[in-house]
Amino acid sequence: MRFSERRIKEFCASQVPTEIFHYTLSQMRAIDTLYSLNRDSGAGVQLKVLAETLAITPAAASEMVDTLVRKGAIIRKSDPADRRAVRLFVGDTLRERFEDCESALNGLMERFLATLSENEKDVFCEVAEKLARFTADTDNFPEVKR
């Protein structure tokens, strides 16, 4: 399992754009979190939601967002439902890079799944779902502070 994890990390690292080196690890975590929060809805994320998800204060999140807006990594847009509110999005260039990386990873997974029989695919999917449920349950990680 560790070998496979390392190989997948190597594959992902080969997909990473060099521009990520313009950001700190905390900034990349914020960008990745913002991308993940926006992936499904695409409606933008409020600053307080980003702060809560990152487990940082709204003031720290605001300062980080200001820096990332200046760097072009994050875009602020007015909320159409409330003109006083602001929604956050990953900048177009980085969003496209995230999408390219996800597409490459999906292609890798499709190539792997093509090597399995139907029965093996069913078992693999069942085990993957169990692993996802296990890792989603914070009770299984008492060592990690919430």
Residues composing the chain? 146
At a CB cut-off of 8 Å and minimum separation 6, what does 67 contact?
A: 27
At a CB cut-off of 8 Å and minimum separation 6, what does 107 contact?
A: none
Q: Which of 135, 113, 134 is nearest to 124 (CA)?
A: 113
Grade residue 34 by pLDDT with cuts at 50, 70 and 90: very high
Q: Is the pLDDT of residue 14 over 80?
A: no
pTM metric for this prediction: 0.73
pLDDT for res 145: 65
Report how far residue 94's alpha carbon sits from residue 74's, in angstroms, rounded to the nearest whole number.
9
